[in-house]
Amino acid sequence: MLNGRRWVSRRSTPSYAPCLKARGRLPRSRIQARKSARPMAAWRASSGHFLDGCAVTSCNAKPNFYVRNSSPPCVQGLRTRPRLFPPRPGLFLRAAHAAVIAHSAAAVTIPATTIREIARLTVKTRLTVKIARLAAKPDRTERMMRSSAGKMARATLAVLAASVLAALAGGTAVPASAETYPDRMIKIVVPFTPGGPVDLVARLVAQRMAPALGQSVVIENRAGAGGVIGVRTVVNAEPDGYTLLFGNVSTLAVIPAVTHNREYDPARNFVPVAKVSDSPELLVIDPALPVRSVGELVAHAKAWPGTLNYGSSGYGNATHLSAEWFKSKTGIDVVHVPYKGLSDALTGLIGGQVAMVFGAIEGVLPLVQQGKLRPLAVTTANRFPSLPDLPTMIESGVAGFMVTSFEGVVAPAGTPASVVARLNAVINESVASAELRARFAQLGIQPSVGTPQDFAAFFAAENRKWAAIVRDTNIFD
């Protein structure tokens, strides 16, 4: 104890204790120090000045340095121990700071006017530096345009500007894609499973298109929903001639005619390119079934109603409507079993899962020739040359029953006319080749060539035909 006061240990004595001691106020505890702390103005008037992180006192103590923007020691009390090291380089202005340290080290009290002048100079200089930095910093728009997204935006705007200028100039030049078409791979979507009749014909045509176009032509199978899934893929594709649809009577005529909620409209969503082939359908059954003609099949089905079933390539497909039309004309009761494609339906027929199937001749004829299936009739008006002993459905007692299947290529609506013309010429050349005609004859297919306008008129007529059949027979009611 000293003069009735307890000694403060050296560990708890702050480095600015001489400042307090010079004023005759050495605190006994932290609480007393906080309670006895004067306001900032009183402390500056009695003991010195506080400038930019540097305590300038009238005692012989060294100046105290602490973290910038913190409170002065006498206001802060003993809550934190002040830093004893100088500030980092560049934290304060060197000229003003050196003057303060020099005066403080000599224990000379700096006049108030000098302090105010230094403070004014400091604030003015910092404000000038800050304004200069803000002026040199790019604004938000400039920073955005310097980024990668901005660069892409500028490139896109440049292309759009060029297109607009060309349109304003009234130019009628052919698009660049049509001038160099094709400059990359072409994809033909087949909306049925691999191995079916449509897939088989599409691959035969694609093999001969590739050399003529100088680019690869690949087949992509998108089966499901009777062919609708593959069709929608092409409907949503870019109309640049690099994504095509190899359709048939089901996807281009039957499904749009019979479905109440149309997924697509061939006349609106497609541009006809070229018709490839025509082919009839065959009614084939499981060889284990004890019938040899259409009449015997009808009698057997009536004797055992609801026990027979038939397979198809999917709901709304031509194979489905052919069987439903047959049911309507003969009055029999057979159950529908839909598959993803004709190849799956024929596999089910061979395996005994279904009893009968209507299928395109190019998919059915090889299995008939191998003895795996038994044909009962052909759906043409006259007997087919490849099967001269096989009667027609009309000869078998089903009046007016004629179904013709066809295949052809269409492109998304908006495809340039020059691209369509180039594809039409290449497909017609491929179909007219002697090699492909010989292969079509083996499959029972009749090749077909013509203009895009001929193809458009043909499948529009087929669409009206199947719509009338559904309306007159009430197949789906």
Average pLDDT over the chain reads: 76
Q: In one letter, which amino acid is 99?
A: A
Q: How does strand 48-51 pair with strand 54-57?
A: antiparallel
Per-residue HEC secondary structure of 419-441 comes to HHHHHHHHHHHHHHCHHHHHHHH
pLDDT at 138: 59
**25 close to 72: Cβ distance less than 8 angstroms:** no
- Among 363, 308, 354, smallest CA distance to 330 is for 308
The C-alpha atoms of residue 423 and residue 239 are separated, in whole angstroms, by 13
Find out whether the peptide bond into 182 is cis, omega within 30 degrees of 0. Answer: yes
Residue type, 130: K
Asked if 188 and 244 touch (Cβ cutoff 8 Å), the reply is yes
CA distance 300 to 297: 5
| Across 242-246, average pLDDT | 97
Whether residue 377 has pLDDT greater than 60: yes
Q: Please state, in angstroms and rounded to a whole number, the distance separating the CA atoms of residues 143 and 326.
A: 72
How far is residue 255's CA from residue 259's CA, in Å, rounded to a whole number? 6
**Counting beta carbons within 10 angstroms of the beta carbon of residue 440, is it exposed (0 to 12), middle (13 to 18) or buried (19 or more)?**
buried
Helix (H) or strand (E) holding 244: strand 243-248
- Which of these, 359, 370, 221, 373, lies nearest to 279 by C-alpha position? 359
Q: Hey, CA dihedral for 64, 69, 75, 79, is it positive or negative?
A: negative
How does pLDDT run across 340-362, given as a tens digit for each residue? 888 899 999 999 999 999 998 98
- Give the pLDDT confidence score for residue 38 in this predicted structure: 45
Q: Are 189 and 235 in contact (CB under 8 A)?
A: no
- Contacts of residues 41-50 at CB distance under 8 Å and 24 or more positions apart, as own/partner, are 43/72, 43/74, 43/75, 47/19, 47/22, 47/23, 47/74, 48/19, 48/109, 49/110, 49/112, 49/115
Residue whose tokens read 């105010």? 116
Q: Smallest Cα–Cα separation from 117: which of 96, 101, 103, 131?
A: 96
pLDDT tens sequence across 273-305: 999 999 889 999 999 999 999 999 999 999 999
Position 56 confidence tier, pLDDT thresholds 50, 70, 90? very low
Closest to 330 in 3D by CA, of 283, 285, 297: 297
Report residue 17 CA to chain centroid gap. 72
240 confidence band (pLDDT: 50, 70, 90): very high
In this prediction, residue 39 carries a pLDDT of: 47
Q: Which residue has the tokens 């403080």?
A: 104
Please choose, from the candidates 208, 269, 274, 210, the residue with its C-alpha nearest in 3D space to the C-alpha of residue 235: 269
pLDDT at 64: 46
Reported as a pLDDT band with limits 50, 70 and 90, residue 250 is: confident
Report the pLDDT averaged over residues 170-180: 52
